[in-house]
Amino acid sequence: MKIFIYFVLVPIIVVNLNSLAQINPGFVANYPFNESANNGNGNNFTNSLEPDSIVLSGEINGNRFGYSVSTAGDVNGDGFSDVIVGDYQYQGYKGRAYIFYGGLSVDTVADIIMTGESGNNRFGLSVASAGDLNGDGYSDVIVGAPNNDGANDIAGRAYIYFGGVEMDGVVDKTLYGQESYDNFGYSVSTAGDVNNDGYSDVIVGAFQYHNVQGYVFIYYGGASMDSVKDVTFLWIRFNQFGESVSTAEMLMEMDFQM
């Protein structure tokens, strides 16, 4: 599995349905089933657009490196955008996510590696920038693990990692699903600053909740951000509400409680 980064004259985003990122500037294309090593994971790809493009590759054949990709914002504050790539099948579906720093000279070595808690968590199935949740001037990231069964319930979890000059792969905040088989964390995204307090917020979807009714939670950022949901959105049954989430230019003031 490979990720292809293209350097172009102007920033371009959104490639292959579920990917976006820009580095210095450019865009990322994900091919999670690439078979360039003849491992039977997908189609070969020949880069005919830019000869100096960068290819990011997974660690092990047969994994799903590149299933999810996103801009990470500027997590280390060096003035260059970074990218985050998920591989939910790593090591028995424990999953991993990788951050690659941008720069004048971008390499193919992951700078930050984040790993799921245990097998079958599918950590990294969703990845996204979280904006600057704690107001420290660095971008943060959020990673979903919709099959996490820490309580043997597969409720799902989402993990927040704060950026910084010396960012690490240690979880800073953990967000939890509510009921068995919620698949909480199937979708994650920055929500922008929905309450206009100067801190970015995050949004997480759980489309399997209550007979596929689904729900979406918003968590407010802050200098001392917690793991308690601040806003809940629900919909009628069998609609898979929350299968995808994203920030919007404007969000109406709503306060639906579960």
Place of tokens 């914002």: 73
- pLDDT (tens place) for every residue of the chain, 258 residues total: 555 554 443 332 222 323 333 333 344 555 554 544 434 333 323 334 455 678 888 888 878 899 999 999 999 999 999 999 999 999 999 999 999 999 998 899 999 999 999 888 999 999 999 999 999 999 999 999 999 876 657 889 999 999 999 999 999 999 998 888 888 999 999 999 999 999 999 999 988 776 677 888 999 999 999 999 999 887 766 566 767 788 876 545 555 444
Q: For the chain, what is the largest distance between any 2 Cα atoms, rounded to a whole number of angstroms?
A: 52
* pLDDT score at 14: 27
* pLDDT score at 245: 85
Which token pair is 177? 């699903």
**For 210, phi and psi rounded to 5 degrees?**
55, 65
Length of the chain: 258
Beta strands 215-219; 126-131: pairing state: unpaired
* pLDDT score at 152: 58
Bridge partners (DSSP) listed for residue 188: 204
* pLDDT score at 236: 63
* CA-wise closest residue to 94 among 133, 48, 150: 150
d(CA 76, CA 216): 29
Rounded to the nearest angstrom, the gap between the alpha carbon of residue 167 and the centroid of all alpha carbons in its chain is 16
CA triple 213-131-59, angle to 5 deg: 80
* pLDDT score at 114: 98
